Amino acid sequence: MTNEFPQTLTIAGTDSGGGAGIMADLKTMQERHVFGTAVVVAVTAQNTLGVQDFMALPKQLIDEQFASLAADFKIRACKTGMLADAEHVHIVVENLKKYHFGPLTVDPVMIAKGGAALLADDAVATVQKELVPLADVLTPNLPEAQRLTGLTITTSEEMEQAAVKLQEMGAKNVLIKGGHEATPDKASDFVLLADGRSFWLSAPRIDTVRTHGTGDTLSSCITAELAKGNDFESAIRLGKDYVTAAIAHPIEVGHGHGPLNHWA
């Protein structure tokens, strides 16, 4: 038998510090027992203190990475992360339409916790128009959900309204990561499934600065679980459980926003 082992793909940026981006994605996929592959869209010079520099790769090299993977692997689920700018969002969208890599989880990465812009401001319109409609699962945090919908979100009701709006924009299943902002005592995420069912995912508040790569880890775990054949609801619930455990048992690495514990 060939090509039967669950294979996944992350389309994103690297993190030289190993805690976020493609590095976090592959570590998560490994821990969730799927085979991870990667299309590198951008390379960052980064550590737990922040993003010092980054550069997006030329179109030809990105296209060739997609072609290499399509020629050899049977990708069952894929995700996008940092896509840098409008041109690169478009390059990725064109490749996603060309190949069949299974359900797509879109983590609409915009700004790193340290404040660095990982997506150019003027690329938001391209994400809205071209990428969101391809998303089988869309996983914005609150600031990203606000940018994508144009809504101000300060309450749980507004999170629910934003999820509906994101579905109207074409995303099938929507997970809005609330963190502690709209619900101070717990980390609450709102999920609106494609069939209209919805639910809240809550975890107790954990006070830690070691949360670097949380969004990447969540979207990669969802991707891994979809590749194993789980349905969207189960994949999302398993993703939340994994991230909660990975935050709860921190490892001491670096001097700033440290990485998660992917073994947790």
- Total residues contacting ligand PLP (rule CB under 6 A)? 19
Give me the DSSP letters along the chain: --S-S-EEEEEEE--TTSSSHHHHHHHHHHHTT-EEEEEEEEEEEEETTEEEEEEEPPHHHHHHHHHHHHHH--EEEEEE---BSHHHHHHHHHHHHHS--SSEEE----B-TTS-BSB-GGGHHHIIIIIGGG-SEE--BHHHHHHHH-----SHHHHHHHHHHHHHTT-SEEEEE-TTTSSTTEEEEEEE-TTS-EEEEEEE----S--BTHHHHHHHHHHHHHHTT--HHHHHHHHHHHHHHHHHS----SSSSPBP-TT-
Nearest distance, CB of residue 78 and ligand PLP, angstroms: 15
Print the binding letters for residues 26-65 with ligand PLP: x by CB under 6 A, - otherwise: ------------------x-x-------------------
Nearest distance, CB of residue 145 and ligand PLP, angstroms: 15
Q: Does 20 bind ligand PLP (CB under 6 A)?
A: yes
Give the count of beta carbons closer than 10 Å to the beta carbon of residue 168: 9
Q: Does 216 bind ligand PLP (CB under 6 A)?
A: yes
Interacting positions 99-138 with ligand PLP (CB under 6 A)? 109, 112-113, 118
- Residue 95 or 219: the one with the smaller Cβ distance to ligand PLP is 219
Q: Does 13 bind ligand PLP (CB under 6 A)?
A: yes
Nearest distance, CB of residue 74 and ligand PLP, angstroms: 25
Place of tokens 């290499």: 68
Print the binding letters for residues 165-204 with ligand PLP: x by CB under 6 A, - otherwise: ----------------------------------------
Interacting positions 223-262 with ligand PLP (CB under 6 A)? 257
Q: Does 215 bind ligand PLP (CB under 6 A)?
A: yes
9, 12, 91, 227: residue in contact with ligand PLP (rule CB under 6 A): 12
Q: Which residues bind ligand PLP (CB under 6 A)?
A: 12-13, 15, 20-21, 44, 46, 81-82, 109, 112-113, 118, 212-216, 257
